[in-house]
Amino acid sequence: MSKPCIICVAITGSVPTKADNPAVPITVSEQIESTQEAFEAGASIAHCHVRLDDGTPCSDPDRFARLKEGLQKHCPGMIIQFSTGGRSGAGNERGAMLPLRPEMASLSVGSNNFPTRVYENPPELISWLASEMRTYQVVPEIEAFDMSHILHAIRMHQEGLLYGKLYVQFVMGVRNAMPADKDVFDFYVETMKMRAPDAEWCAAGIGPNQVVVNEWAIAAGGHTRTGLEDNIRWDKGALARSNAVLVKRAVDICQKYGRPVATHHQAREILGLVALP
């Protein structure tokens, strides 16, 4: 299988803390350093959240701006993807960083249950975030926690509501949402092939499902996501030392299946982003 595999690294998220794993990067400077290591290990997309210095998640555009500037300097060419997720803010606050024009941003197109709360993505907010992404030419990465999210994203793209090429990420293993189930995963893949053959897809597994879903996605010809946002452990007995070691594990799986790891140039071509010199 010769198609390059895009590896996205989710560097910090909104939930893991240093009490959970001291390697979780919190400050902007820590995130830049951790991302640079992951970039050098093989990641071509950085999925970014920002935190207050005490670790509280936020959607502060100034922090996103400093993070973007640092990543462009220390990870030249890496695709920067901002999170518009609901753990970092409410309502339109979730899209306050989009005027900074990251190349990509996450977009959830439906609601679902999380371990202790409802992850609310009401239709009017989804429409507004999608509109802002079109305005600022930000390609959405659809975070699909359910089959209905995949179908809704395909419809939105067909109706011209999503900017750029359709890119759908299957998120599997969140408690109370879609489990990491191979039959479901296979059905997701076939649905994308049948209903959106020109789109690209990737997959992310949460917690111990991370390496499992990494392998499913790479073996099936898709792209994948790893990182400390989704999984703080290396295995049952040890914490992951860094984002970079999780990226390296995904690289090793690519080698196992004969998949080249996509450079940022190749990732841009695959996702239809602006090519860099």
pLDDT along the chain (277 residues), means of 10: 93 95 97 98 98 91 98 98 83 93 97 91 96 98 97 98 98 95 98 98 97 98 98 97 98 97 97 84
Segment 217-231, tens digit of pLDDT: 999 999 999 999 999
pLDDT of residue 233: 98
pLDDT of residue 202: 98
Segment 17-62, tens digit of pLDDT: 999 999 999 999 999 999 999 999 999 999 999 999 889 999 999 9
pLDDT of residue 277: 65
Q: How far apart are CA 43 and CA 102, in angstroms?
A: 17
